[in-house]
Amino acid sequence: MIKSDTGAAPSGLSRRNALKLAAVAGGASAGALFSGVSFAQEAAPAAATDASTGMPNWRRIALGEASVTIILDGLRPGEGPHPTFGENQSAEAVAELMRTNFLPETRIVTSFLPVLVEMGENLVLFDTGFGPGGRENGQGRLVERMAQAGYAPGDVDIVVLTHMHGDHIGGLMEGDVAAFPNARYVAGQVEYDFWISEEAKNGPRAQNAAAVEKLVVPMKDKMTFVAEGDEIVPGIVAYEAFGHSPGHLVFEITSGERSLWLTADSANHFVASLQRPDWEVRFDMDKAAGIASRRKVFDRIAEARAPFIGYHMPFPGVGFVEKDGEGYRYVPLTYQLDV
Ligand SMILES: [Zn+2]
């Protein structure tokens, strides 16, 4: 199902030309534009919106001179938010917060949002979604939807891993080959060291350690390991926000006068995690550190009044926060970056 590297690109359109065309189209999305372009012999890419709902699958925003494209790798409906969120709270307390926010009390839908940042000469991909392992559940659609946004896998220069949980590393490989054949890789040193340790391989997360062994370790010769304050490319800086995983990273992207944060999995529910940052989250491997990092990251973003993208926020996952009572008020992006 996955198209070859070259086959995924709209015919005759290089990535940059495609972007220029998209810009020429003005208000029209590049996806809409491409539907009017004749494609090569290969079948045209799937529609840029979900056929049954009209929901878009990708969104591009401008940040100074940079272009930031959020791709919906997939959605996962399930039971929750309790006890995944508010594990140390009563089910009723979590249900009440959901009710107050017009959300279902026992059902949740989670987004998975890899991000492409085009800055200077670099196309940087942050996280890779589920990859082949997610397809039977409707996830793992990053590469397919990148094509709709005008990017082929071979266009990616750098793949950055915010951390090494399965929903972030699953798309590194298609079968036995690298999904992004021209890319080098960036990951946190602390994160990598943990997942290849005997402690990880023999602990409760052994299955995830096995996924790291299969998907990440083969890339290690092309991998740069980073820590607090390291610059990935000019304008993109890594910061440590440990807790969700042992070496979890967030990133500040600056271009021109604008900054935007990628908060990865610092907060994974736009209400439960932000309005109640001190509630314990089952997926946070060190719950106390996860809480401390959540506060550190969102205090800083609130102070800066900067937009951020959360990997699991509702698509397109871009918003702002202000401090509000014991937590934060989340304001989804509308037209702030368009003017
Ligand atoms: Zn995640």
Q: State the distance from the centre of ligand 1 to the C-alpha of 82, rounded, in angstroms.
A: 17
Q: State the distance from the centre of ligand 1 to the C-alpha of 59, rounded, in angstroms.
A: 19
Q: What is the mean pLDDT of residues 136-147?
A: 97
How big is the chain, counted in residues? 339
- Tokens describing residue 204: 């409760």
Q: State the distance from the centre of ligand 1 to the C-alpha of 35, rounded, in angstroms.
A: 32
Look up residue 46 and give its DSSP letter.
P
**All domains in the chain, ordered by first residue:** 15-332 (3.60.15.10)
| Rounded CA Rg of the chain | 19
Q: Residues 162, 245: contact at Cβ < 8 Å?
A: no
Q: State the distance from the centre of ligand 1 to the C-alpha of 168, rounded, in angstroms.
A: 6
Q: State the distance from the centre of ligand 1 to the C-alpha of 311, rounded, in angstroms.
A: 7
| 316 φ/ψ angles, rounded to the nearest 5 degrees | -85, 5
Q: State the distance from the centre of ligand 1 to the C-alpha of 163, rounded, in angstroms.
A: 8
Q: Mind listing the pLDDT tens digit for each residue in 41-79?
A: 344 456 788 888 888 999 999 999 999 999 999 999 999
Ion ligand 1 — residues with CB under 5 Å? 167, 265
**Predicted pLDDT of residue 10:** 39
Q: Mind listing the pLDDT tens digit for each residue in 271-298?
A: 999 999 999 999 999 999 999 999 999 9
Please, what's the b/e burial string for 140-175 (b: 16 or more CB within 10 A of its CB; e: otherwise)? bbbbbbbbbbbbbbbbbbbbbbbbbbbbbbbbbbbe
Q: State the distance from the centre of ligand 1 to the C-alpha of 112, rounded, in angstroms.
A: 7
Residues in Cβ contact with 156 at an 8 Å cutoff, skipping those fewer than 6 apart: 116, 123, 124, 125, 180, 182, 183
Distance CA 209, CA 293 (A): 23
Q: State the distance from the centre of ligand 1 to the C-alpha of 111, rounded, in angstroms.
A: 9
- Biggest CA pair distance of the chain: 57
Q: State the distance from the centre of ligand 1 to the C-alpha of 336, rounded, in angstroms.
A: 26
Distance CA 185, CA 225 (A): 9
Distance CA 181, CA 322 (A): 40
Look up residue 85 and give its DSSP letter.
B
Q: Give the ranges where the chain is alpha helix by DSSP (H).
A: 15-24, 30-34, 91-100, 142-148, 166-169, 189-195, 198-202, 206-215, 272-275, 287-304
Look up residue 39 and give its DSSP letter.
P
Q: Mind listing the pLDDT tens digit for each residue in 291-336?
A: 999 999 999 999 999 999 999 999 999 999 999 999 999 999 999 9
- Measured in Å, how far apart are the chain's first and last C-alpha atoms? 39
pLDDT of 213 > 80? The answer is yes
Residue 135 parent element (H or E): none
Q: State the distance from the centre of ligand 1 to the C-alpha of 246, rounded, in angstroms.
A: 13
Q: What is the mean pLDDT of residues 189-194?
A: 98
pLDDT of 33 > 80? The answer is no
Residue 119 parent element (H or E): strand 115-119
Band the pLDDT of 30: cuts 50, 70, 90. Answer: very low
Q: State the distance from the centre of ligand 1 to the C-alpha of 185, rounded, in angstroms.
A: 18
Q: State the distance from the centre of ligand 1 to the C-alpha of 157, rounded, in angstroms.
A: 22
Q: State the distance from the centre of ligand 1 to the C-alpha of 234, rounded, in angstroms.
A: 26
What is the pTM for the complete model shown? 0.87
201, 306, 216: which is closest to 257 by C-alpha?
A: 306
Q: Residues 69, 58: contact at Cβ < 8 Å?
A: yes
Q: State the distance from the centre of ligand 1 to the C-alpha of 115, rounded, in angstroms.
A: 13
Distance CA 308, CA 251 (A): 10
Residues in Cβ contact with 251 at an 8 Å cutoff, skipping those fewer than 6 apart: 126, 160, 162, 232, 236, 237, 238, 239, 261, 262, 264
